[in-house]
Structure 1
Amino acid sequence: MRFDPQLADIRFGCGLSPQMAPPRSVQAMLETLDTPDAIAIDFPIETFETFSQRIAERIELTNIRRKNRGSPEALAAKKGTRVLNKEARIAQAIWMGQHLNRWVATKAPLRERLTMFWADHFTATGKAGVLRRGASPYVESAIRPNIDGVFEDLLIAAVLHPLMIHYLDQDRSVGPKSAQALRGGKLSGLNENLAREVMELHTLGVSGPYNQTDVTELAELLTGVTTARPMRLNFSKNRTEPGTETVLGKTYGGDNPHMRDVHAVLRDLARHPSTARHIAEKLATHFISDTPDPALVSALEATFLKTNGDLRQVTETMLSHPAAWNPERVNVKQPFNFIGSALRALAVPPQAIKSLKEAASRRNFSIPLVHMGHVWEKPSGPDGLPEEDDAWIIPQGIAARLQWAITVPSLLMEELPDPRDFVQTALGDFASPAVTFAASAAETRSDGVGLILASPAFQRT
């Protein structure tokens, strides 16, 4: 099986576009990762460092309310908190639009797909207040800069990010025999959430070679990891469980606990053979098939092990393997991929998305995503979105995709393309006779465009 430019854009990119030609080769795809991240400059999203300023303001307003209960100052601070929450909520809607505009306009679509994949692999979100809006800034700071580096660096950036620490309750974990626990108070117990998910989801996999003792020992080693206001990484020796900890047969820590012990165990987990297998299977499943070619998985695993998790080389192995170019497209696009690739095929003008008010953004994107099965930046659990196709091919989800395809494009564009032309724009050589006929027979442009976007040919990668 040989490289197919159109399949490259559909399977490993953001979909076909009338504005940009498909890539010429695997090397051309990889070279886009070497260029400056221009699309992130054109459609900026706050870094978490900037976002933390919102958190600092929220903390200050909360302190004012607590110190001045019942006073005019407290009432003003309460109003200020509502305004701050609203501003963050609006910003989250804007950032979603920026994500979509990146998909429409990027000349490096592989970067967007890899960013979305790794953001889901390291799912994290805030649980309350302003912090509920912090997922995109987290991705911007921890994930996007590390998608083609070494896996252990990505692992450390994600696992030790303040949002991940908050999401998995690591900021509530205290060594049972630590100085903090001996003093008493609310924080006096071990929380194993982060340790378990690091092993089960982020590295070794659910069937990895670890047991409950390994989870507990890793959790004890992580006890010093916490956050300091306003949401920055901190290491507290007072919270650390004293002594050494043994994880997968190797001992870490000691009399002088330090963040370097945490880095050491994360790097070892990142380089473990079970991690190589887990990441290889997940990449092949996400991009190519729910039942990936065993030879592809083995090739990815071998590259991961040989290079100590060099993600650029792992990605190159995936794109260079014959199984990557199987013309049978069996994976179903996840909801964001569906909407993003539809907007790209339509070449929706950036301003049409940027100019949407919060309510319109919700109607056009957030609410339809929910009906398709994806609640934007509010995951049901740390395992992220389902990879199984049957999670998306359900009656409600299919109906939601059809409804969106028929109604929303016409709201975003002054004039829709002629369906007879659009079928080639959106599907290229993958346009089937049935879809081509339906497009030509549609009574209106919106119906024709909707039928094309809702067709199985467009839904699959």
Structure 2
Amino acid sequence: MTQLAAANAAIAAHRFGLGEASLSALQSDPRGWLLAQIGPADAPRGDDLLSTRQALEHVKAEADKRRLAKNPPTGTTAEQLLAGHYREVTLADARSRLLTAAATQRPFTERLLLFWANHFTVSLAKGSARGLVGAFERDAIRPHIAGTFEQLLVASTTHPAMLRYLDNQQSAGPHSRAVAFAARRARQMDEGPRLTGLNENLAREILELHTLGVNGGYAQTDVTSFAAVLTGWRVGLKQIDVDQRFDPAWHEPGRKTVLGKSYPEGADALRDVLHDLARHPSTAKFLATKLARHFVADDPPAALVDRLAASYLRSDGQLGEVYRELVRSPLAWNPVPVKLKTPEEFVLSSARVLGLNERMFARRDGAGIVGLGQRIHAAPSPAGWSDRADDWLGPDAVWKRVEWATRVGERMGHTLDARALADASLGPVLSDDSRQQIERAADGAQAVALLLMAPEFQRR
């Protein structure tokens, strides 16, 4: 096997995948190994996973608890009623995501799942989304990552988790029946109306973060008009029905103009707008840039971005074709790794390379990923977790990785030959300096820690 083929196998395993204990199975055809994985994501592993309907029922039950906690029954405290608030659901969801990624035989597909889940962020950091994030990932993202972008966009936009996370639950057309009713009731009760009109959060984030990008050519008037299109798309907790997400009473009547095109009132207008956004050249460029940034470099080659955008437009947004173009492009196979693994990626690749796989996540603590600075399903904003290396390279962040690697080394050092594992999992991309440090380690524990902290392992 040539040195180049072995190096490409390491790139395939770590840059496109999630790390492999041995490169031998993919050295003969690294690109073919990746291309064969393109398709819908694996079925999620784990127990106690809720469907979207079940998750909504759980959210309703928790909301009922909170109302009851204001006046708890005799002999019961508010603390007792709220104990474990969402905890079991969120732990099961996070563990399922980690178990699936650690054990999958299709790591390229699972990395794409992580990419799109971050692109369409719904986060536990906002209370309105708690209890729904795992169901959103399983039902809206996982089945659609190799279909068309339009399918993925529609599924994510109309999922109850996204509608609640970005406040479309509270958005009503200023001239809608719901606002008129609220105004009449407020006059009767001599108080200000509680329901006043549009919330633009979802419209703005779809345009800025999900499709066109911040410089994609839209104006504030487009945000406002799109917000009007989105009115009525909501899921109430009084009557949970995931098949009835559009409430015409909350919808703004009349036609709306978005990006120069007029759309009729009603539920179908949203899908028409999303259809046009998915086919917009700015969307192609924005998605191509994000994919190239994720897999290749923080500032990806312009030629690669153009190549991916052209594939997107040529195939009418078929994501599988874009992935194939990415894998086949020589620009994606730069032998010098410049991307840094996020804490989640670092822990997952450690589990896979050390042969721990699901055992790394036997406990429900996420194997310490929170301590490394990244809580699963809890990105700090709708923009998701940063995909730039410098944002994960602070001194404190690096020291936490050293401490984590040291603990893993102490746990596994007596059962693993880190020297052999370094060669098997990294091959020729392991530098002479890193190899010598691992070989000169004082003991097995230190050798494992040095392998995990080697620049060639930390980067992809």
2:262 is the counterpart of 1:264:
no
Hey, what does 1:245 align to over in structure 2? 256
- What code does the residue aligned with 2:311 have? T
Task: Indicate the residue corresponding to 1:448 in structure 2.
Answer: 447
Q: Would you say the 8 A contact 1:103–1:341 is kept in 2?
A: no
The one of 286, 296, 299 aligned to 1:288: 296
Deviations 1:223-257 (A, max 9, x none): 1111122483621211111211100110012xxx3
Paired amino acid for 1:250: K
Q: How far apart in 1 are the matches of 2:48 and 2:68?
A: 32
Q: In structure 1, give the amino acid aligned to 2:26.
A: P
Answering whether residue 70 of structure 2 is matched by residue 72 of structure 1, we say: no
Partners of 1:415 and 1:47 in 2: CA distance:
42
- Decide whether aligned partners of structure 1 residues 407 and 133 sit closer, same or farther in structure 2, where only a CA change above 3 A counts: farther
Q: Distance in 1 between matches of 2:21 and 2:69?
A: 52
Q: Distance in 2 between matches of 1:212 and 1:431?
A: 50
Distance, in Å, in 2 between the alignment partners of 1:207 and 1:272 is: 13
Rounded Cα–Cα distance in structure 1 between residues aligned with 2:402 and 2:113: 27
| Residue identity matched to 2:358 | P
Q: Answer yes or no: is the 8 Å Cα contact 2:409–2:447 preserved in 1.
A: no
1:287 and 1:219 map into 2 onto residues whose CA distance is 33
Partner residue of 2:190? none
Structure 1 residues 300 and 70, CA gap change in structure 2 (3 angstroms): closer
1:36 CA displacement = 8.0
Letter in 2 for 1:276: A
Structure 1 match to 2:204? 196
**Contact 1:152-1:266 within 8 A present in 2 as well:** yes
Query: Are 1:369 and 2:367 counterparts?
Result: no
C-alpha separation in 2, matches of 1:435 and 1:351? 27
Is 2:233 aligned against 1:222? no
SS of 1:246's equivalent?
Answer: strand
Query: Is the partner of 1:206 in helix, strand or coil?
Result: coil
Distance (whole Å) between structure 1 residues aligned to residue 427 and residue 118 of structure 2: 29
* Kept after mapping to 2: 8 A contact 1:369/1:376: no
State the Cα deviation string for residues 412-434 of structure 1 (Å, max 9, x = none): x4844122212213322211111
- Shift of the alpha carbon at 1:19? 9.2
Q: Could you tell me which residue of structure 2 aligns to residue 29 of structure 1? A: 34
Shift of residue 22, structure 1, vs aligned partner: 3.0
Deviating above 6 A after TM superposition, structure 1's stretches of 4 or more consecutive aligned residues are none
Query: Which residue number corresponds to residue 62 of structure 2?
Result: 58
**Distance 1:8-1:366 versus aligned 2 partners, 3 A rule:** closer
C-alpha displacement of 1:32: 2.4
1:228 is paired with a residue whose SS is coil
**Distance change >3 Å, CA 319–CA 346, structure 1 → 2:** same
> What amino acid is the match of 1:14?
L
Kindly state the Cα deviation for residue 65 of structure 1 after the two structures are TM-superposed: 5.6
User: What's the counterpart of residue 378 of structure 2?
Assistant: 378
User: Residue type matched to 2:450 in 1?
Assistant: L
Partner of residue 422, structure 2: 423
- Match in the other structure for 1:308: 316
Q: Which amino acid aligns with 2:31?
A: V
| Unpaired segments ≥5 residues, structure 1 | none
Residue identity matched to 1:125:
S
Which whole-Å CA distance do the structure 1 matches of 2:319 and 2:211 have between them? 14
- Please give the alpha-carbon distance, in whole angstroms, between the structure 2 residues aligned to 1:20 and 1:195: 48
Q: What is aligned with 1:82?
A: 83
> Where does residue 189 of structure 2 map in the other structure?
none
Cα distance, 1:399 vs structure 2: 0.9
User: For residue 178 of structure 2, what is the aligned residue in structure 1?
Assistant: 180
Q: Secondary structure at 1:195's aligned position in 2?
A: helix
Which of 2, 11, 29 aligns to 1:7? It is 11
Between the aligned partners of 1:284 and 1:43, the Cα distance in structure 2 is: 35
Counterparts in 2 of 1:23-172, with a 5 A limit?
A: 24-34=29-39, 37=42, 40-41=44-45, 45-62=49-66, 69=71, 71-72=73-74, 75=76, 79-83=80-84, 85=85, 88-126=86-124, 131-172=129-170
Q: Answer whether contact 1:61 1:78 (CA < 8 A) is retained.
A: no
Larger deviation: 265-274 or 378-387?
Answer: 378-387
Distance 2:68 2:211 in 1: 43
Distance 1:27 1:340 in 2: 23
In structure 2, how many angstroms separate the alpha carbons of the residues matched to 1:178 and 1:449? 63
Is there any run of 5+ residues in structure 2 with no aligned partner, and where? 184-192
Identity in percent: 34
Q: What TM-score results when the alignment is normalised by the length of structure 2?
A: 0.89
- Normalised by the length of structure 1, the TM-score is 0.88
Structure 1 CA distance, aligned partners of 2:150 and 2:26? Answer: 32
